[in-house]
Amino acid sequence: MSDTHTLAAGGAAALAPRAYHPAHEPHPENGTSLGFWLYLMSDCLIFAALFATYGVLGRSYAAGPTGKELFDLGLVALNTAFLLLSSITFGFAMLQKQQKNVRGTLTWLAVTGLLGLAFLAVELYEFAHLIHQGATPQRSAFLSAFFTLVGTHGLHVTFGLIWLVTLMLQIRKHGLIPENVRRVNCLSMFWHFLDVVWIGVFTFVYLMGVL
């Protein structure tokens, strides 16, 4: 009789659903970093295509204004300084993060965000000024390629600022937990990537356009 009860109990246990313990499931430690690097590589392809398009269409003025007539190199240089300085201040935030200094990390992230906002403000002013002059994206293939390339970079900076504010709120609430440290590292790669792309824009679009 006891054997019958034992077999019944064993059968019931075999039919019962097994508990799922995600904490014990194998998870690669560098999976997030690898995935983010793959995302950055896909972003590189997008910007490479935009640069190639501008290279082909950058002299198609359609009897309209040229880059030499439109670009204010002093204004663009100021905007470039804002973005490059934001990369330096993000580096200071990374140093504070390594020292587990929550307040210092938040302070330098806030400075980075302000510089990013200044960059976007100048870029929007430039766009509004060009449109006021009649240099709209529909005016020529050159202007279509210009607005697409520079505007796409500006959208990336906008998304980066949204990410930055969200991350600051998470750090303020939970501190520098491993998850937030990983997010700071990913945002740092993204932000420096935008700086590298902008250097290409400044050189290939503005400098060559003026010269």
Write a three-state SS string for the chain: CHHHHHHHHHHHHHHCCCCCCHHHCCCCCCHHHHHHHHHHHHHHHHHHHHHHHHHHHCCCCCCCCCHHHHCCHHHHHHHHHHHHHHHHHHHHHHHHHHCCCHHHHHHHHHHHHHHHHHHHHHHHHHHHHHHHCCCCCCCCHHHHHHHHHHHHHHHHHHHHHHHHHHHHHHHHHHCCCHHHHHHHHHHHHHHHHHHHHHHHHHHHHHHHHHC
d(CA 174, CA 3): 54
Domain housing 204? 46-53+70-210
Q: Could you tell me if residue 1 is inside a domain?
A: no
Tell me whether residue 206 is in a domain: yes
Q: Which residues of the chain have pLDDT under 50?
A: 1-2, 5-9, 11-16, 19-25, 27
How many domains would you assign to the chain?
Answer: 1
* Structural domain includes residue 16: no
Q: What is the pLDDT of residue 8?
A: 46
In a domain, 75, yes or no: yes
Residues 83, 198: contact at Cβ < 8 Å?
yes
Give residue-wise pLDDT tens across range 76-134: 999 999 999 999 999 999 999 999 999 999 999 999 999 999 999 999 999 999 999 99
Say if 9 falls within a structural domain: no
Which residues have CB under 8 Å from 117's CB, separation 6+? Answer: 161
Residue 176 and residue 38 in contact, taking contact as beta carbons nearer than 8 Å: no
pLDDT of 123: 97
The CATH number of residue 127's host domain is 1.20.120.80
pLDDT value, residue 149: 98
